């Protein structure tokens, strides 16, 4: 067996008196594709920096195979000190690397190389850093959140580029679709230690749940009762993540309803008068145009958003998504056409920059407004500690100043504040930024239960698929087209040879970020599975309930440890099988919708 390119063994590191890494390990062989996952603050980025040789551990060993070339992409690249983007990218090349590849990568990423680093946007900085990292074609890539600030075309290009490389890869990302596509092994960093499964991220969550169930069993073995408050952060998320058939069916029904309300040719059936649509229509745009100088942002858009819709808005950076939101909510007037905003709307907008948070205020006071210990959530009052737990905060964090929270924790706090306010319309502009995978699961569950209307701007393909009942996509030159369903549904409806929205053209050339997708037809086996899966899922739910009732006996382990072990294993297997069946059922149901529509 060939020696690894990189090996970390028994890595420990403490920040002050608090241990962050305790015996963490990481091994990467030639061509291996590994994703590194864990909650925000678990030490993923720190472990990757140790792997890159940027910081030293307190103890443990780091081995790099002699002659191995390695490139590291940080979350916040620094381009200071370079006159142009090309200078920055070329500076990362070795003596035998090809400068033409660097220029070709910049071109494919929509940059010329002549840009001044100080004038770049966040997305342009990320593209330049990617070109610098990928240009040498290294033996090993260490990538920390490579999709941050990237739009969808750039994310899809990056995904294909990384798939085509023979380099070894260690990837940190909150983009589920990217992780599922690229990873072949998964390393889970939890409580300072690493656990590894030689399967991709698609298998991670079922495996993680089984590991946690086994840990609970071990704690029972040692005769210790699990304290709910202490272990909620680790074990509570799993239960909330589970999606039942009712939720899956409701999403499919909402998407079908949206399809039924749209003419086959895309024209909208606008209501005759505002009196008749009061309380039913959130916003109506009819033949709307908007331009800034010679630049067309919206061209002849007609759109209707109904109460209860979940509208996903997608497009490259610079397409005008923020302008479109302002037009739809009546905050900006169109150059031509008309926008009618519904009556009695209570709109809550998620502040992506967290600017409304007072860094000196405590977490508790931020949620309650300083008025006691109760939070007004819709029409009910809830104790602040209970509401905090819904957003994965521990009770002891109630008096923590907002200023010391991590980026992910501030993101969760913003969500908690937004969802506590009375609203019937949620405007979410990139709500998944800085959120770890478990928090994304929690957000998805909450949005699924939200009774009002959601208008969502996101570059997260998986999140769009899970939330959106329709998708409004930028097609270039101010054209916006609405598709029933989420992002994957949009690709299917575009058909073979169609292109996702292109990023705005860079000076002197066309953008190269394009991708095609084609529809998948249902065969006899698919149709049969669609009919039989509900019955199978009902049996699995029954088995889960039966095993759970057995495990509810606190004295089971002491009376019959073997039955405790077999029941725990059966419960984990049944839950994993139910998750897989639900995902398959949703996939087939959407295929059936598309077949009927086409």
The reply to whether the predicted model has a pTM over 0.75 is no
Q: How many residues does the chain have?
A: 598
Residue 293: count of CB within 10 angstroms of its CB: 5
pLDDT for 419 equals: 76
Q: How far apart are CA 474 and CA 486, in angstroms?
A: 14
CA dihedral 292, 294, 300, 304 (to 10 degrees): -20
Q: Half-sphere exposure of residue 416, counting CA atoms within 13 Å on the CB side? A: 27
Contact 314, 472 (CB under 8 A): yes
Q: Half-sphere exposure of residue 197, counting CA atoms within 13 Å on the CB side? A: 18
Question: Which structure tokens are listed for 123?
Answer: 């997305």
SS (H, E, C) 419-470: HHCCCCEEEEECCCCCCCHHHHHHHHHHHHHCCCEEEEECCCHHHHHHHCCE
What is the Cα 470 distance to its own chain's centre?
18
Contact 348, 426 (CB under 8 A): yes
Residue located via tokens 């678990």: 42
Provide the residue-wise pLDDT of the chain in tens; the chain has 598 residues. 567 999 999 999 997 767 899 999 999 999 999 999 998 778 999 999 999 999 999 999 999 999 999 999 998 899 989 999 999 999 989 888 888 999 999 999 989 999 999 998 888 999 999 999 999 989 999 999 999 888 888 999 999 999 999 999 999 999 999 999 999 999 999 989 999 999 999 999 889 888 888 877 766 655 544 444 445 445 444 544 444 445 555 556 665 555 554 444 433 222 222 223 335 788 999 999 999 988 899 999 999 998 889 999 999 888 889 899 999 999 999 999 999 998 888 888 876 555 568 888 999 999 888 878 888 876 778 898 988 888 778 888 889 898 888 767 787 888 788 777 778 888 988 888 777 787 788 788 778 878 789 999 999 999 999 899 999 999 989 999 999 888 988 888 877 334 334 344 343 444 445 444 444 566 777 778 888 888 888 888 888 888 877 877 767 766 787 887 788 778 878 877 887 787 777 777 777 766 665 5
What is the Cα 403 distance to its own chain's centre?
24
Query: For 200, left (φ over 0), alpha (ψ -120 to 50), or beta?
Result: beta
Contact 577, 540 (CB under 8 A): yes
- What does the angle CA 204 – CA 165 – CA 436 come to, to the nearest 5 degrees? 35
**Domain 6-201 homologous superfamily, CATH:** P-loop containing nucleotide triphosphate hydrolases (3.40.50.300)
Q: Where do you find CATH 3.40.50.300 in the chain? A: 6-201, 248-266+275-345+454-494
**Domain 248-266+275-345+454-494 homologous superfamily, CATH:** P-loop containing nucleotide triphosphate hydrolases (3.40.50.300)
């Amino acid at each position: 067996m060939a020696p690894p390119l990189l090996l970390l063994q028994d890595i420990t590191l403490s920040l002050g008196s608090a241990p962050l890494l305790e015996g963490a390990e990481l091994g990467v062989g030639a061509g291996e594709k590994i994703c590194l996952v864990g909650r925000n603050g678990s030490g993923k980025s720190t472990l990757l920096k140790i792997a890159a040789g940027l910081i030293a551990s307190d103890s443990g060993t780091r081995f790099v195979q002699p002659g191995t070339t390695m490139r590291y992409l940080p979350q916040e690249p620094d381009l200071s000190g370079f006159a142009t983007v090309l200078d920055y990218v070329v500076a990362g090349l070795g003596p035998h690397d090809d400068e033409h590849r660097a220029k070709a990568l910049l071109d494919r990423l929509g940059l010329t190389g002549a840009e001044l680093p100080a004038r770049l946007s966040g997305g342009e900085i990320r593209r330049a850093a990617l070109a610098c990292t990928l240009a040498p074609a290294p033996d090993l890539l260490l990538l920390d959140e490579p999709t941050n600030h990237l739009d969808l075309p750039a994310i899809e290009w990056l995904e294909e580029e990384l798939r085509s490389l023979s380099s070894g890869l260690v990837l940190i990302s909150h983009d589920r679709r990217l992780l599922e596509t690229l990873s072949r092994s998964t390393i889970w960093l939890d409580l300072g230690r690493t656990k590894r499964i030689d399967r991709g991220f698609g298998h991670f969550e079922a495996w993680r749940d089984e590991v946690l169930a086994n840990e609970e069993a071990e704690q029972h073995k040692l005769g210790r009762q699990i304290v709910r408050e202490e272990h909620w952060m680790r074990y509570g998320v799993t239960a909330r993540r589970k999606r039942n058939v009712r939720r899956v069916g409701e999403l499919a029904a909402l998407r079908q309803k949206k399809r039924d309300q749209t003419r086959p040719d895309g024209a909208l059936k606008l209501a005759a008068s505002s009196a008749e649509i009061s309380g039913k229509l959130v916003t109506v745009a009819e033949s709307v145009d908007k331009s800034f100088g010679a630049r067309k942002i919206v061209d002849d858009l007609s759109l209707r958003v109904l109460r209860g819709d979940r509208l996903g808005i997608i497009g490259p950076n610079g397409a005008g998504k923020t302008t479109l939101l302002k037009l739809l909510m009546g905050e900006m007037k169109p150059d031509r056409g008309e926008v009618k905003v519904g009556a009695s709307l209570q709109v809550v907008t998620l502040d992506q920059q967290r600017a409304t948070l007072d860094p000196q205020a405590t977490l508790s006071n931020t949620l309650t407004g300083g008025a006691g210990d109760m939070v007004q959530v819709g029409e009910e009052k809830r104790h602040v500690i209970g509401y905090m737990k819904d957003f994965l905060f521990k009770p002891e964090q109630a008096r923590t100043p907002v200023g010391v929270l991590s980026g992910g924790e501030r993101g969760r706090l913003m969500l908690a504040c937004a969802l506590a306010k009375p609203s019937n319309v949620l405007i979410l502009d990139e709500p998944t930024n800085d959120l770890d995978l478990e928090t994304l699961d929690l957000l998805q569950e909450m949005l699924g239960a939200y009774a009002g209307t959601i208008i969502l701007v996101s570059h997260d393909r998986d999140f769009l698929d899970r939330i959106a009942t329709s998708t409004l996509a930028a097609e270039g030159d101010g054209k916006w087209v609405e598709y029933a369903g989420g992002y994957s549904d949009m690709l299917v409806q575009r058909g073979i040879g169609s292109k996702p929205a292109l990023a705005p053209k860079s000076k002197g050339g066309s953008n190269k970020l394009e991708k095609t997708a084609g529809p998948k037809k249902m065969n006899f086996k698919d149709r049969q599975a669609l009919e039989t899966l509900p019955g199978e899922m009902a049996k699995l739910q029954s088995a889960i309930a039966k095993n759970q009732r057995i495990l509810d006996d606190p004295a089971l382990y002491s009376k019959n440890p073997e039955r405790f072990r077999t029941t725990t294993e059966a419960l984990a297997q049944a839950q994993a099988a139910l998750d897989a069946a639900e995902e398959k059922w949703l996939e087939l149901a959407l295929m059936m919708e598309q077949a009927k529509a086409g």
